[in-house]
Amino acid sequence: MKQILPLRSLGKSDLMITSIGLGCWQFSKQQNMAGKFWPKMEDDLIQQMVKISLEGGINWFDTAEIYGNGASEKALAASLTAIGKKPGEIIVATKWWPMFRFASNILKTIDKRIEALAPYPIDLYQVHQPWGFSNEKAEMEAMARLVKEHKIRYVGVSNFSALQMRSAWEALQKLGIHLVSNQVRYNLLNRKIESNGIMQTAKELGITIIAYSPLAQGLVTGKFHDNPDLLKNIGMRKYSSAFKPAGLEKSRPLVKMVQELATKYGVTSSQVALNWLITNHGETVVAIPGATKESHTKENAGAMTFSLTAEDLSLLDKKSALFK
């Protein structure tokens, strides 16, 4: 039976989403360099991940053009179709890849994105990075045109700084359109957006923060602290300072607190970490954890079914303050 969960608006839009969506990078099927970050998932497993997410109450999915050159988008659409979801029953977000491209490419490639996700409309279209050949103004003007042509519903950005986000917001405002989201890296072990102006600007402008890597690639759960042997098989992550001995020791006190709270609430460490993210700043932050196992998918949805107390939110806030 499907879980019914509270919804919140995505920025200043009428898109009502659950506080946790499913990130779909792992559906890339190793089709390009970005796709090779994950092992190849078969269609039946992808469909199961989507099905469990829906049953848990999750109502939106985030994918991108760069995830396997459309492989993730196609896998998501195929799974939703097989499950019997009709267009309009769920919310789909995807992203345009700007690297080595001009803003005009947004208009040239939109039909490919629509085709890859068919029959599901693009509810949120995001500029994936701020590193294109065009500025925010040109990119937002192209996005606004897609809104007016009814090819997408709302506009978002990803990895934009506070200044870039404000610039994009201003460009859209002049055209009578809201910038509804900025998708950025944010978790208990990386709180930089609280000190570099992104969080403050998002709250001021009514923009939702979509937190990717909300579990710090599994680090915040403590599984690597408890079992260092797991570090041998983590791919590119092993080169990150956070996964080296000094990094693990730095995060150990916070991880221990997360584990203790998980025991207190009868939930998992990942659920504590996710619940802090989607609660600590009111309704400003939503999260998009990925999933490669059924247990991950169930945990993602379950993170929305309990509430940390104000006291415990504050404890986590203080313990993780050194990661701002």
Active-site residues, by number, are: 67
Nearest to 250 by CA among 179, 161, 189: 189
| Cβ atoms of 87 and 119 closer than 8 Å | yes
Helices of type H across the chain: 43-55, 71-83, 104-117, 136-148, 162-173, 198-205, 223-226, 245-265, 269-279, 294-302, 310-319
CA distance 179 to 56: 29
CA distance 109 to 113: 7
Q: Which residues pair with 155 in a beta bridge?
A: 125, 179
| Cβ atoms of 62 and 72 closer than 8 Å | no
CA distance 54 to 87: 14
Q: Which long-range contacts (CB under 8 A, 24 or more apart) does 171-178 make?
A: 171/136, 171/137, 171/140, 171/141, 172/140, 172/143, 172/144, 175/140, 175/141, 175/144, 177/143, 177/144, 177/147, 178/11, 178/12, 178/13, 178/154, 178/206
Three-class DSSP category at 160: coil
Alpha-carbon dihedral sign for residues 218, 196, 247, 238? positive
CA distance 127 to 157: 5
Cα 15 from chain centroid? 16
